[in-house]
Amino acid sequence: MFKKVIQSISKSLGGKPAVKPATKPKSGGGVLDKIAKGEPLDSGKPKTPEELCEIKKGMSKSDIHARIKLLYRRYNRAASSLDNKTRHEADRMLDAIVAIREKHFGEI
């Protein structure tokens, strides 16, 4: 999954490029961290929209709202990726995001 980008990173690391930012990284990485470490979408048995979007039991409405907003922004962008596989997976995620929104916030 996402071979293109990962390869590029590996190459960069292998070549010891780089670079550390002078400033602290932006905050708000909690959710991002989990996604970055998450399994590929096609890694096993079919997942529910909640599992795909990592919506946990007991999450508040505002947390769910923030979560699906973040995911929508991410996967809507990914739907225009230069990588074919990323685009395909983005479509699946967008369906899951809509299902979560309708379940928790009602139909439009």
Contact positions toward other proteins, by CB under 8 A? 1-2, 4-6, 8-9, 12-13, 15-22, 24-26, 29, 32, 35-36, 68-69, 72-74, 76-84, 86-87, 91, 94-95, 97-98, 101-102, 107-108
Report d(CA 102, CA 68) in Å as an integer: 11
Contact 5, 83 (CB under 8 A): yes
59 versus 79: smaller Cβ distance to other proteins = 79
21 versus 58: smaller Cβ distance to other proteins = 21
60 versus 108: smaller Cβ distance to other proteins = 108
Report d(CA 39, CA 1) in Å as an integer: 10
Contact 87, 41 (CB under 8 A): no
